[in-house]
Structure 1
Amino acid sequence: MAERRPRGVRALPHALSRGRERVTGVLKRRFPTVAVTGMTGVGKTELVDTLTGHSGPRTPEALAESGSAVMEHRVRRGRRLTGFRFRVVPGENAATRLGALDEVFHDEPVDGVLHVVAHGHATGRRTAGTTGAATVHRDEQLARELEDWTVTAHRIASMAVRRDRPTWLVVVVTKVDLFHDDVEEVVRSYSPGSGTPFGDRLDELRALAGAARLSIDVLPVCSHLEKGSPVSAKQRDTYLRTLEARMAQLSGHV
């Protein structure tokens, strides 16, 4: 005769499973996942390192060497047991980059997106295993930036029409110290309804994903200041705090 297990014992695995689901749900709400996208050289890793307090070199030589061919993971822990889990998608190495995009927009859909642009001021990188910065032209970088965004926007749209994530997108315009006199105009050029090529792509994304479902913001940021920069440390910190505050609002932390 088979031994009968007490009812409480049979229910234990189910209770443990529900407990894990509740813990996972709380973690996702308090630490939403954010994809950080953008072409190589725009400063994705540096921005996330700044937001997370990750220590790292800030010399011009080190910045020229920064970046990764694989997806990087960072966690920001804030007050009240809240924060963000960042997934920094590599900007080059086509196979690795496309695999990372699949992961954040299909396999494990993220809650929000920081798409980083630099108004054509992305740092040039040498190819074929050589190191250091390369001489690049702004027009070429702007064209690459738009091409990069077209690929990323397509991935966001294809996921948004099938799932309820991502719910927000912030276009982060970095390196504003290089065009500090035209920040407002540059930000406008990256905004929906601006009539620019980038703005037109954003309009298309909103139409596909649903403007009510996908919140879109455009914010300027300066993560690194060179000596003699026209942007003060106080202004840099204000830019960063504004971005952090908006992310907290969009994630329901405040």
Structure 2
Amino acid sequence: MTNENESWTDLVPTIAKPVVYAYKYRKFIQEYWKKAQVKVGMGKPSVIVTGRAGVGKSVLASHYHGEANTQDWNEPGTSTDVEIKPITIGDWTKVVAVIPGQNSQERARSLDEALNKTDELDGVIHVVDWGFTSIREAAVKKEMVESRGIDTIYKIRQHHLSLELNDFESMLDKLAMSKANGRGPKWLVIAVNKVDLFEKDLLDAERYYNPSCKSPFTNKINSFLKTVGANNIKIIHLPVCPMPEPFEWNGEIVAPQVDSITKQRNYLRVFIDKVSLVQNGVK
């Protein structure tokens, strides 16, 4: 665990408070990705991106890979296969594997490969979204509303937060087993995605995910740290916002609260800067 996180409100640019966290790299990712592809040789991943289906793992990775900045890019649908992307920022170049969120043989195989069969894994980016998880299948939405009574945004968020907690606990169990076997990541970044939907409640979200505070989520983190030892893995939590868009459920809508490209890019830049610093700090 680390106490190096600024308060999330310190990361948000405003008119009264300009951005003071400098983006120390001069060029965007798309200018580097071909060089990165050659450099890393598309080998085994040294970073994996995990989390439930619908939390935005692929969109997040696509922005850092650079392909989201191209004219022919379309927002990806639900991913069922492992996606391999070389990502470079400054001197940080890694093969990143985005693990599918659905419980499947592909997910189990890729997690086992990364956690238990290689010594090359540096870190895990585990993506969560404070209950604003996307469900794309119309039939599933209809069944949840009509048969299960999950008919408000509050109810669907509580449902997703419960599933998110179970998924996170399962992931921590896998990490603990990997560490016990002398492998496992050196760092874990909890990427709190879709901050555009709850920026007005940023401190409440931070309290939920901050290991220094008490919540069902942070209880899992602290229990994990007692098992593996706080000195054996570095954990940070960060907000991120790759693509502001509204969240709709059964006619209710939460509109994006991040209303400028400056804010969006600041979240993206601070996030990857922090990941880079964590990576450099554990070499």
- Structure 1 residue 229, shift from structure 2 partner: 3.4
Q: What CA distance in whole angstroms lies between the structure 2 residues aligned with 1:75 and 1:157?
A: 27
1:75 counterpart residue number: 86
1:101 counterpart residue number: 111
Q: Is the 8 A contact 2:88 2:94 kept in 1?
A: yes
SS in 1 for 2:170: helix
- Structure 1 residue 67, shift from structure 2 partner: 2.6
Compare relative contact order (CA 8 Å, sep 6+) and give the higher one, 1 or 2: 2
SS in 2 for 1:115: strand
- Structure 1 residue 188, shift from structure 2 partner: 2.1
1:220 counterpart residue number: 239
Residue 188 in 1 paired to residue 207 in 2?
yes
SS in 2 for 1:70: coil
Q: Is the 8 A contact 1:161 1:208 kept in 2?
A: no
Pair 205,57 (structure 1): closer, same or farther in 2 beyond 3 Å:
farther
Q: Is the 8 A contact 1:193 1:200 kept in 2?
A: no
SS in 2 for 1:114: strand
How far does the alpha carbon of each residue in 1:20-45 deviate from its partner, in whole angstroms, 9 at most, with x for none?
xxxxxx969xx971110000000000
Q: Is the 8 A contact 1:36 1:86 kept in 2?
A: yes
- Structure 1 residue 251, shift from structure 2 partner: 1.6
1:160 counterpart residue number: 179
Residue 117 in 1 paired to residue 128 in 2?
yes
Q: 1:35-54 alignment to 2 at 5 Å?
A: 35-54=48-67
Q: Which runs of 5+ in 1 are unaligned?
A: 1-25
Q: What CA distance in whole angstroms lies between the structure 1 residues aligned with 2:69 and 2:137?
A: 22
Q: What CA distance in whole angstroms lies between the structure 2 residues aligned with 1:99 and 1:57?
A: 31
Pair 140,57 (structure 1): closer, same or farther in 2 beyond 3 Å:
farther
1:149 counterpart residue number: 168
Opposite residue 119 of structure 1, the aligned amino acid is W
SS in 2 for 1:85: strand
Q: What CA distance in whole angstroms lies between the structure 2 residues aligned with 1:176 and 1:78?
A: 22
TM-score, normalization: structure 1?
0.77
Q: What CA distance in whole angstroms lies between the structure 2 residues aligned with 1:56 and 1:93?
A: 30
Q: Is the 8 A contact 1:32 1:251 kept in 2?
A: no
Pair 172,229 (structure 1): closer, same or farther in 2 beyond 3 Å:
same
- Structure 1 residue 95, shift from structure 2 partner: 2.2
SS in 2 for 1:55: helix
Q: What CA distance in whole angstroms lies between the structure 1 residues aligned with 2:70 and 2:202?
A: 27
- Structure 1 residue 98, shift from structure 2 partner: 1.5
Which entry has the higher C-alpha Rg, 1 or 2?
1
Q: Is the 8 A contact 1:69 1:93 kept in 2?
A: no
Opposite residue 278 of structure 2, the aligned amino acid is L
Q: Which residue among 52, 56, 77 is the counterpart of 1:66?
A: 77
SS in 2 for 1:217: strand
Q: What CA distance in whole angstroms lies between the structure 2 residues aligned with 1:36 and 1:223?
A: 15
Q: What CA distance in whole angstroms lies between the structure 2 residues aligned with 1:48 and 1:149?
A: 19
Q: What CA distance in whole angstroms lies between the structure 2 residues aligned with 1:57 and 1:248?
A: 24
Q: Which residue among 254, 261, 272 is the counterpart of 1:233?
A: 261
- Structure 1 residue 235, shift from structure 2 partner: 1.2
SS in 2 for 1:230: coil
Opposite residue 96 of structure 1, the aligned amino acid is E
2:189 counterpart residue number: 170
- Structure 1 residue 127, shift from structure 2 partner: 8.8
SS in 1 for 2:58: helix
Q: Is the 8 A contact 2:207 2:215 kept in 1?
A: no
Q: What CA distance in whole angstroms lies between the structure 2 residues aligned with 1:90 and 1:57?
A: 23
1:251 counterpart residue number: 279
1:23 counterpart residue number: none
For the aligned residues, what is the CA RMSD? 3.1
